[in-house]
Structure 1
Amino acid sequence: MKILLIGAVIVDHMMWLDKLPQRGDDVLCKATKSVVGGCAFNVASMLTHLKVPHELCVPVGQGIYANIIKHALQQGGYRYQEDASADNGYCLCLIEQNGERTFITVEGVEGTFKREWLAQINANQYAYIYLVGYQMTGQSGHIIVDWLTQSLHNTTTQIVFAPGPVINAIDETVMDRLFALKPIVHLNRKEILQYTHTTSLTSAMSLLYAKNQNHIVVTLGSEGAAWHQNQQTTFILPVPTQVVDTVGAGDSHIAALMAYLSKGEPWERALQQANRIASAIVGVEGATVDHKTFLKWSINR
């Protein structure tokens, strides 16, 4: 069965700096690069490398950024939802010398989902349905959770929810309805601590598990990942690497996790593979790599 990715494709403007400027500073940028990105696109790129069938449900508008995105999607053989009311958005990715990234996102047409787009999709044909947090904010969140609640009748289909940094901007009603569908939740340490209003990772996972009643994966950067299920927590060791930048680390991790689970790997093995692939992504510039580079990883790791 395939994986459905519900999210956004945007353009990433990447800027490398020695460090983030303070208010009133004037700093020089060391290098820049503009690429097609967005969580759904980054995940799709990794699923392609791993030879896992998948489809995108992403809006593409009309304008400069939309034209760049259309070209990339057409090259990948993807279908997309057209909406000529606005251009697609973009993200300014500020990357410091230590590889840490800071994002400033300007939302475009990808921030508004329409019911008729989802009505065309049979949710029950997918092994996993991946949801990005940005698309669950505002009215789009209500539309998407309505569709899932009304159309998802296949108990083998799993929702995989990556709320991201906007986790506290999602309407509480949407979150409650989504958690009632028992999604797998994938997020980082900062996000889960902010959502649960606690400073303890163990407590945070227990609090979140009371809501979703399913697997929780928390990425921990250089410390690997934590996996919580049935009130038990397992820590998955990291794969040491030289960090170039952390852009796309979470996207590659969740893509690999879904890919290996869909291939029948047990959870712990799938998470080990996800850690391996995420460590490789942070060792290169940007959130995605070409297939030649990916194959080189497979040989060397």
Structure 2
Amino acid sequence: MKNKKLVSNKKILILGSAVIDVIINIERLPKAGEDITGVQKGQNVGGCAYNVAKILKHLQIKHDLCVPVGNGPYADIIKSELYNRNQSILIEDTSADNGYSLSLVEADGERTFITVDGIETKWSSSWFENIDIQIYDYIYISGYGFQDANDSGDVILSFIRHKRMDCQLILDPGPRLIGKRFKDEVLKMNTILELNEQEAKALAENEDIFLAVEQLYAVTQNPIIVTMGSKGTLCYTSGKSELVPVQIVKAIDTIGAGDSHTAAFIAGIAAGYELRDACVLANDIASRVVQHVGCCVL
């Protein structure tokens, strides 16, 4: 990589899921009842938390990856991948296999997911017994872990309530967004939001992106980082907004682009970067990821 080496002594916890991504290239999404052809391009270990950890490891930023690993063929693939990457397995539970995601990638690089849930949606408080949350300076969480119809959000929320007050949450709400019964509390836990334009508008329930970030900041009192594709990254804090430009590249596959942006942003602020510089780094890494299949930087 051309970026200067990042140095950080911050303790970072990446909390979430690891699943299998089955990637299929299609010309376009089918209409209801239609049959189209596709080309399978790969079967990779993915999941928001795993992707974030993968990029942090590439950037040589120390962190702990907390994802449940189950029992079954998908779990075996994930376990092997974690071993190969020298990632410690903090949670093992044999009650179910890990889930998988069917990732449909259209000709323009846009992706659509169909997810079959596994052990990563069945969080148990016992999983956290050997994890000392008090040591962490930053904790990454995803909206996927806080869905209204799933009790796992209550378990994770109970755990993060014990973090230090100065520990910052980095929340990626994801396309499903964070469940309404968790939203008010989680957004006020010294939380930085890192999300895309559509998610920001939906989370704020406002179609004007600049008003949306103002509303979200009024709740979090922390920076709001919004990726806006080729328009750049909107960084909003303390009544000031700045659009950080992004390099225009040909997108091959946008799977993991948001995760890689979040990971690089975390790396930047953990290394002491100013917010704008952290966004510049995040834009650079994300632009590299979209030029390859799967969440990777070459």
Is structure 2 residue 167 aligned with structure 1 residue 160? Answer: no
Q: Does 1:97 align with 2:107?
A: yes
2:201 to 156, 172, 193: 193
Deviations 1:198-231 (A, max 9, x none): 2100111111112111111111111111111112
Asked if the contact 1:112–1:135 (Cα under 8 Å) also holds between the matched residues in 2, the reply is: no
Q: Normalising by structure 1, what TM-score?
A: 0.92
Specify every segment of 5 or more residues in structure 1 that has no aligned partner in the other structure, as ranges.
294-301
Structure 2, gaps ≥5 residues long: 1-9
Aligned partner of 2:157 in structure 1 is 145
Question: Is 1:230 the equivalent of 2:238?
Answer: yes
Residue 50 (structure 2) aligned to one of 5, 23, 41: 41
2:176 match: secondary structure? helix
Supply the distance in 2 between the matched residues of 1:106 and 1:31 (Cα, whole angstroms). 18
Pick the aligned partner of 1:16 from 25, 41, 44. Answer: 25
What amino acid maps onto 1:286 in structure 2?
G
Deviation at 1:154, TM superposition (A): 4.8
Q: Percent same amino acid among aligned pairs?
A: 38
Please say if residues 165 and 190 of structure 2, whose CA atoms lie closer than 8 Å, have aligned partners that are also in contact. no
Q: Which residue of 1 aligns with 2:85?
A: 76
Deviation string for 1:257-289 (max 9, x for gaps)? Answer: 111111111111110010011011111111124
Instruction: Give the Cα separation in 1 of the matches to 2:158 and 2:254.
Output: 34
Write the distance in 2 (CA, Å) between the matches of 1:180 and 1:17: 41
Larger mean CA deviation between 227-236 and 94-103 belongs to: 227-236
Note if 1:86 corresponds to 2:96. yes
- Distance in 2 (CA, whole Å) between partners of 1:112 and 1:7 is 11
CA contact (8 A) 1:2 1:52 kept: no
Hey, what's the Cα distance between the residues in 2 that align with 1:222 and 1:284? 17
**1:127 shift after superposition:** 2.2
**Contact 1:179–1:211 (8 Å) recurs in 2:** yes
Corresponding residue for 1:266? 274
The SS at the match of 2:175 is helix
Question: What is the CA–CA distance in structure 2 between the aligned matches of 1:90 and 1:110, rounded to whole Å?
Answer: 10
Map of 2:220 onto structure 1: 212
What root-mean-square deviation, in Å, do the aligned CA atoms of Structure 1 and Structure 2 show? Answer: 1.3
Which portions of structure 1, spanning 4 or more consecutive aligned residues, are displaced by more than 6 angstroms? none
TM-score (norm 2): 0.93
Q: Which residue of 2 aligns with 1:126?
A: 136
Q: Distance in 1 between matches of 2:59 and 2:48?
A: 17
| Corresponding pairs, count | 286
Shift of 1:88: 0.5
Instruction: Using the TM superposition, give the Cα deviation of residue 27 of structure 1 relative to its aligned residue in structure 2, in angstroms.
Output: 1.2
* Other structure's SS at 1:165 match: coil
> Per the alignment, in what secondary structure is the counterpart of residue 296 of structure 2?
coil
CA contact (8 A) 1:43 1:251 kept: yes
The separation in 1 between residues aligned to 2:278 and 2:68, in whole angstroms, is 30
Alpha carbons 1:253, 1:275 under 8 Å: kept: yes
Instruction: Please name the residue that 1:298 is paired with.
Output: none
**2:264 match:** 256
| Amino acid across the alignment from 1:33 | G
Separation (CA, whole Å) in 2 of partners of 1:174 and 1:281: 31
Residues 119 and 147 of structure 1 are in contact (CA less than 8 Å); yes or no, is this contact kept in structure 2?
A: no
